[in-house]
Structure 1
Amino acid sequence: MTEPLPALLLVTATFLLAGLVKGVIGLGLPTVAMGLLGLVMPPAQAAALLLVPSLVTNLWQLFAGPRFGALLRRLRLMMLGILAGTLAGSGMIAGPGDGAAKAGLGAALILYGVVGLLAPRLRLPPRIEPWAGPLAGAATGLVTGATGVFVIPAVPYLGALGLERDALVQALGLSFTVSTLALALGLAWHGALPAQVAGVSLLALLPALAGMALGGWLRARVRPATFRLCFFLGLLGLGAELLWRGLG
Structure 2
Amino acid sequence: MSHLLAVNPALVLVSVLVFASAGVVKGLVGFGLPAISMGLMTVFVGVEKAMVLILWPTFLTNLWQGVSGGNLSFLLKRLWPFLVAATVSLSVGTFVLTQVAEGAADLLLGGLMVAYAVPLLRGVVLTLSPAQVVPVGVVAGLLNGVFSGLTGAFTVPGVMYLQSLGLRRDELIQAMGLLFLVSTIALAASLGSFGLMGGNEALASLALVVPALSGVWIGQKIRRNVSEANFRRLILGAILVLGLYLIPLGVWRLW
- TM-score (norm. length: structure 2): 0.86
Contact 2:25–2:33 (CA under 8 A) maintained in structure 1: yes
More deviation, 124-133/49-58: 124-133
Question: What is the rounded CA distance, in whole Å, between the counterparts of 1:115 and 1:78 in structure 2?
Answer: 19
Q: CA-to-partner distance for each residue in 1:194-243, whole Å, 9 max, x for gaps?
A: 11101110111111111122223444678966866774554244212222
Name 1:165's counterpart in structure 2.
Answer: 169
Structure 2 residue 196 is matched with structure 1 residue 195: no
Name 2:31's counterpart in structure 1.
Answer: 27
Contact 1:101–1:147 (CA under 8 A) maintained in structure 2: no
- Cα distance change on mapping 1:11 and 1:108 into 2, 3 Å: same
More deviation, 226-235/160-169: 226-235
Correspondence 1:4-153 to 2 at 5 A? 4-93=8-97, 95=98, 100-119=101-120, 120-153=124-157
CA RMSD of aligned residues (A): 2.4
TM-fit CA distance, 1:47: 1.3
For structure 2, the residue ranges without an aligned partner over 5 or more in a row are none
Secondary structure, counterpart of 1:100 in structure 2 = coil
Question: What is the rounded CA distance, in whole Å, between the counterparts of 2:134 and 2:14 in structure 1?
Answer: 43
Name 1:244's counterpart in structure 2.
Answer: 251
- How many aligned residue pairs are there? 245
Q: Percent of aligned pairs with the same residue?
A: 33
- TM-score (norm. length: structure 1): 0.88
Question: What is the rounded CA distance, in whole Å, between the counterparts of 2:240 and 2:132 in structure 1?
Answer: 33
TM-fit CA distance, 1:12: 0.7
More deviation, 132-141/105-114: 105-114
Secondary structure, counterpart of 1:121 in structure 2 = coil
Contact 2:23–2:219 (CA under 8 A) maintained in structure 1: yes
Question: What is the rounded CA distance, in whole Å, between the counterparts of 2:51 and 2:247 in structure 1?
Answer: 19
Contact 1:101–1:146 (CA under 8 A) maintained in structure 2: no
- Cα distance change on mapping 1:147 and 1:123 into 2, 3 Å: same
Contact 2:87–2:145 (CA under 8 A) maintained in structure 1: yes
For structure 1, the residue ranges without an aligned partner over 5 or more in a row are none
Q: CA-to-partner distance for each residue in 1:65-100, whole Å, 9 max, x for gaps?
A: 21212211221111121111101221133x2x7x72
Name 2:242's counterpart in structure 1.
Answer: 235
TM-fit CA distance, 1:8: 1.6
